[in-house]
Amino acid sequence: MGSLAVVAAVLGVVPPVSVAWLAPMLAVHLLWTALFLRVLLREGPLPRWLVAGDVAITVALCLAQRHLVAEEALDSGSSFVAGLVTMTIVVAGVAWSARVAVPVGLVVAGAYLAGVRIASPTHDVAGTLGIHLVQLLAIVMLMTLLRRAVASTDRFLRERARAEIVLMVDGLRREDELKQISSIHETSLHTLTMVGMGTYDAPSPTLRAQVADDLTALEKLRDTPLADPSPIALDTLLDQVAGRASGLDVHRELTPETVPGDVAERFARAVSEALANVALHAGVREAELISSRSGGEIRVEVADAGRGFDQERLPPDRFGVRGSILEAMRSLPGGGAEISSGAHGTRVRLWWRP
């Protein structure tokens, strides 16, 4: 639309259009159109300053219509300025929330009305103004619904990822418990086998002590099977999380380590979210997952070489980075997290000190 507006403006250069006014304003408009194209090709979010500049340029064009638009275009409401007003309203609605987009859209529509009145007080622009207001209402309603849908989807995916991690943790716990049960079973079975084979043909203090130990272990297992959950193999859990990262080749360097179950879950949730962000937003198909221990502190890092992001510009309804990574680790006693991101990629650092 920005490019077409320039073509339409050039083709519409008839009196009273002033080339001295039109040329510099179209040059600025072309510059802003090029910036929009660059952002589009980078597949990044629209910067707020870029949208604000677009609004300012459109408002300036609206107020200067007496020098830029022929009277015939003013009469029909088909000028290139009217088309830019539509696109500016749409862009503002996409980039900003309703509480900002609505007043901005009203300002742009009002500037269009004022510009036409300045050019010719007799022109009737009620129809065009009504169309702009309908466009403003439509884009605001559409984006409100989309943002709510995105937030709902994020919550669903976050809960599903959390449930998968819980299942993996429970599986590792059961595996460890089965190993313990197997060990106890084999010890008790060995004692009974020796008795059955007649190894002890007379009362034996050694046998009595062994049977007492076996009985104590079995009673403890019966009475408190889950009172003290076994630590989780963090490297095994993270390896499973990395294996579930869809569309991503994760290079892993995992140091064998066991941690409490709740700590393992926090690490797994943060890593899962970080890998999901790489797959969705980094523009690369490879990532690194490293775990290590240094000075008694367990560290986990997720890194990629894709396009970075600005944490300060994250939409408030995108919970993943703030909730599943930063808050999840920082709320863990002894835990923490930080994210560094730039032109050379993003690195998520997680740590926990027992």
What is the CATH classification number for the domain harbouring 271?
A: 3.30.565.10
Kind of pairing, strands 286-294 and 297-304?
A: antiparallel
Two structure tokens written together for 113: 């009305």
Residue 212 lies in a domain: no
What per-residue confidence (pLDDT) applies to 209?
A: 73
Residue 255 lies in a domain: yes
The per-residue DSSP string of 192-250 comes to: HHHHHTTS--S--HHHHHHHHHHHHHHHHHHH-SSSSPPPEEHHHHHHHHHHT-TT-EE
What per-residue confidence (pLDDT) applies to 227?
A: 40
Count structural domains, the chain: 2
What per-residue confidence (pLDDT) applies to 354?
A: 86
Domain-ending residue, one of 151, 178, 196: 151
Q: Domain range spanning residue 63? A: 2-151
10 shares a domain with 123:
yes
23 shares a domain with 129:
yes
Kind of pairing, strands 232-233 and 297-304?
A: unpaired
Cα–Cα nearest to 28, from 76, 74, 84: 84
Tell me how far apart the alpha carbons of residues 261 and 236 are, in angstroms, rounded to a whole number.
Answer: 13
Residue 172 lies in a domain: no
16: cis peptide before it, omega within 30°? yes
Domain-ending residue, one of 151, 170, 189: 151
37 shares a domain with 143:
yes
DSSP reduced 3-state for 12? coil
> Which residues neighbour 202 within 8 Å (Cβ) at sequence distance 6 or greater?
none
Domain-ending residue, one of 95, 117, 151: 151
What per-residue confidence (pLDDT) applies to 5?
A: 83
Residue 165 lies in a domain: no
User: pLDDT tens, position by position, for the chain (354 residues)?
Assistant: 888 888 888 887 777 788 888 889 888 888 888 888 887 777 566 778 888 999 999 999 999 988 888 877 776 667 888 889 999 999 999 988 899 999 999 999 999 989 888 888 777 777 888 888 999 999 999 999 998 888 888 777 777 777 777 777 777 766 665 555 555 555 565 566 666 666 666 677 766 776 776 677 666 656 654 444 567 888 888 998 888 888 889 999 999 988 888 888 889 888 988 888 888 888 889 999 999 998 889 999 999 998 887 766 666 555 567 767 888 889 889 999 999 988 788 999 999 998
